[in-house]
Each structure stands twice: as C-alpha cells, then as structure tokens.
C-alpha cells in the first residue's frame, strides 16, 4: 500500500556502541526500500535516543547524523531508564511524525515487520502491536521469567497485550493521547491499551541480541514488574483486605475454641499453635504494610510531578 506519511523510528539506546552502527545500517536499508516503494515520506527519520550512555553511543549518533540527515538524535541529560527514554523520543517525534515505531537498539525486534506495521497503519489502525510468536532465542531463564511476568500481570488485572514488549507503531493521534497521561511511574505497555482507537497486531520472531549484553538484569526486571503491577492495579491491596477478613474470622473460631478448652479445664495446651500464629500474623502484617507502603511511595512520587526526562540536545533537521 502506498502513502506519503512521515514515519519516525524511535530507538532508545543505553551503552549500545557495539550494535549501533549495524542497527543504523539495517534501518537505513529498510527506510530506503520503503522510500522506493512510495510507502512513506522522504521526511521520515531514524531517531536514536541516548539515555545517558557512558560509552561512545552519543558520538556515534552525532557521526551518523552528520553523514546522513535521515539519522536524528535526542540526548537526555542523564540515564532515565528505557521507558522514559522511549517516551522522550516519542514525544519529540510527535512534533513532526504522522506515525512512530518504537524498537530496541539491539535488533531483537525483527526489522522486517516494519512494512506490515505501516500497512496496517494505512488500513486505519492507530496502534499496531508487535507480538512475539516464539521465544526460541531467549534463554530458559528469560523465557520463564518473562512468561511468569505476563501471567502475573493478567492475574492482577492489568490489561496488557500478551508477549508484546515495546515494539509498536503509534499514529500521531495515539501519541497525542499518550501525552495526556501525566503519571510519573511510566509503564508504557499498560498505558497504551488505555488510549483506545482501532488497533491490530503483527507477529514476529524475536532474534538474539546482535551484540553487547542485556541492559535488563534480574534486579531491573523485578523492579519493572512491581512497577507494572502497582501502577495499574489495586488488587494486591484488596488481597490484603481479604486476608485480613479471613484471619479475623479464623481468630473468632480460635476464640470459641479457647473458651471451650478453658471451661473444660484443659488450659495448658498449644504452645506450638500459639507461637506459629504469632509468627504467621507478624509476617503477614509486615507484608501488608510493605505492599501498602509501595502504593504510598507511588503517590508520593506522583504528587511531586517531577519531569520524566530532560532533553539536552536534539539533532533533527
Ligand atoms: N535501554 C535504555 N535505558 C536503560 C536500559 C535499556 O534506553 O536504562 C534500552 C537499550 O539500549 C535497548 C532497550 O532499552 O535498546 C532494551 O534493552 P535490552 O535489549 O538490554 O533489554 P532486553 O532485550 O534484554 O530485555
Ligand atoms: Mg534486547
């Protein structure tokens, strides 16, 4: 399908010097082939967002931009994390683009489905989700944790697209919708379905990371999952309430039991049951306070309304 809309590819980069030149080359080929087929406007860009990298990532972006103005760059003032970097890029792209596709710098997201995404956009979809068909290349650990993550999210009532990460196309009007979400605790894959509009999916096989290593160690993944749940669901708090009610009911039964024991005169019994309940309830209370604290922490951060990112430089002409 042909059209003349402006496409921006938005790529967050954190210490990606090892993959960036190859990523740039492959994306340029892709853009050129779409220009030739008259699918997109020649004003389209490949926009790299440097998320406060400590290596030569920004220097490489500057060189790319100097060599060919199709490469554009956004430099954040410091490292703000994948989600914030992505948002910074999308919000910058929104000024000039009719549609933007976000993808990772490491070529794990199959570049060849970009065409399909653009076609679906011309068919009238405002959001096109890239969905992984298989996880052949992931390590067992990654597969296991990632699938557990999606299951847990679903159980907690967070509406997310299964096996969809952050590889997606969004139209300008969807980006404008996204801009209206003011929350500081960003979890894009939870927010995007809330924007609405007509959407579709394309499936792809996720490749192995081209070079360099994952910037998502277990610690970051766990933080990401906790954030996803507590920013979108109050189920954990409800669970605590339910637990509280159940335990209260049990304690009333226990009371009855104790009274019976007392009046039948068999009073010195049950040290074990007592010590167990002290520990169990103590633990439960700490857990409950912790979960409530997690939400209070979120409220604290939201009320401060701190900027999600600060842009230092934009290379785009
Ligand atoms: N990334 C980022 N800021 C960070 C961590 C990661 O912009 O603080 C980028 C990274 O450069 C990559 C994308 O987010 O383009 C996904 O990261 P990665 O490939 O390491 O995650 P994985 O594929 O292992 O989940
Ligand atoms: Mg990756």
Nearest ligand 1 atom to alpha carbon 221: 25
Cα(19) to centroid(ligand 2), Å: 11
- Asked if 81 contacts 89 with a C-beta cutoff of 8 angstroms, the reply is no
**Taking phi first (over 0 means left), then psi (-120 to 50 degrees means alpha), and beta for anything else, what does residue 300 get?**
alpha
Nearest ligand 1 atom to alpha carbon 86: 7
pLDDT at 269: 65
Nearest ligand 1 atom to alpha carbon 15: 11
Six-digit token pair at 154?
Answer: 């679903």
pLDDT at 137: 67
Rounded average pLDDT per 10-residue block, the chain, 317 residues: 86 93 94 92 94 94 94 94 94 94 90 93 94 75 80 80 88 94 84 90 81 75 80 79 81 80 72 73 80 82 82 87
Q: Whose CA is nearest to atom 13 of ligand 1?
A: 104
pLDDT at 174: 95
Q: Domain residue spans in the chain?
A: 7-232+306-315
CA distances from 306 to 77, 111, 268 (A): 14, 34, 59
Nearest ligand 1 atom to alpha carbon 214: 20
pLDDT at 316: 84
pLDDT at 267: 66
Question: Which residue, among 227, 82, 195, 83, has the nearest Cα to 128 in the 3D structure?
Answer: 195
CB of 51 closer than 6 A to ligand 1? yes
Q: Which residues are within 8 A (CB) of 250 and not within 5 positions of it... i.e. 6 or more apart?
A: none
Q: Which residues are within 8 A (CB) of 156 and not within 5 positions of it... i.e. 6 or more apart?
A: 229, 232, 233, 235, 236
Cα(82) to centroid(ligand 1), Å: 6
**pTM more than 0.95:** no
Q: Does domain 7-232+306-315 have CATH number 3.40.50.300?
A: no
* Ligand 1 mutation target, pool 22, 23, 82, 147, most atoms within 8 A of CB: 82
pLDDT at 1: 60
């Amino acid at each position: 399908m042909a059209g003349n809309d402006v496409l921006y590819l938005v790529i967050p980069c954190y210490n990606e010097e090892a993959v960036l030149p190859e990523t740039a080359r492959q994306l340029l080929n892709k853009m050129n082939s779409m220009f030739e087929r008259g699918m997109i406007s020649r004003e389209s860009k490949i926009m790299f967002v440097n998320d406060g990298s400590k290596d030569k990532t920004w220097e490489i972006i500057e060189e790319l931009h100097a060599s060919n103005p199709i490469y554009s760059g956004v430099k954040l003032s410091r490292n703000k994390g994948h989600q914030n970097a992505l948002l910074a890029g999308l919000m910058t792209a929104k000024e000039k683009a009719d549609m933007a596709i976000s993808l990772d710098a490491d070529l794990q997201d199959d570049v060849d489905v970009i065409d399909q995404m653009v076609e679906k956009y011309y068919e009238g979809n405002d959001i096109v989700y890239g969905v992984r068909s298989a996880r052949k290349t992931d390590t067992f650990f990654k597969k296991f944790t990632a699938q557990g993550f999606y299951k847990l999210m679903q159980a907690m009532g967070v509406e997310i697209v299964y096996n969809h990460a952050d590889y997606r196309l969004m139209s300008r009007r969807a980006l404008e919708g996204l801009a209206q979400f003011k929350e500081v605790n960003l979890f894009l894959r939870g927010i995007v379905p809330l924007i609405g509009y007509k959407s579709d999916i394309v499936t792809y096989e996720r490749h192995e990371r081209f070079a360099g290593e994952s910037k998502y160690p277990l610690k970051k993944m766990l933080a990401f999952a906790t954030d996803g749940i507590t920013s979108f669901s109050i189920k954990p708090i409800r669970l605590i309430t339910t637990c509280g009610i159940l335990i209260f009911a049990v304690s009333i039964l226990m009371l009855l039991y104790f009274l019976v024991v007392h009046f039948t005169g068999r009073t010195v019994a049950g040290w074990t049951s007592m010590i167990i309940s002290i520990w169990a309830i103590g633990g439960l209370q700490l857990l409950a306070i912790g979960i409530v604290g997690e939400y209070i922490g979120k409220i604290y951060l939201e009320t401060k309304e701190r900027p999600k990112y600060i842009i230092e430089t934009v290379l785009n002409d």
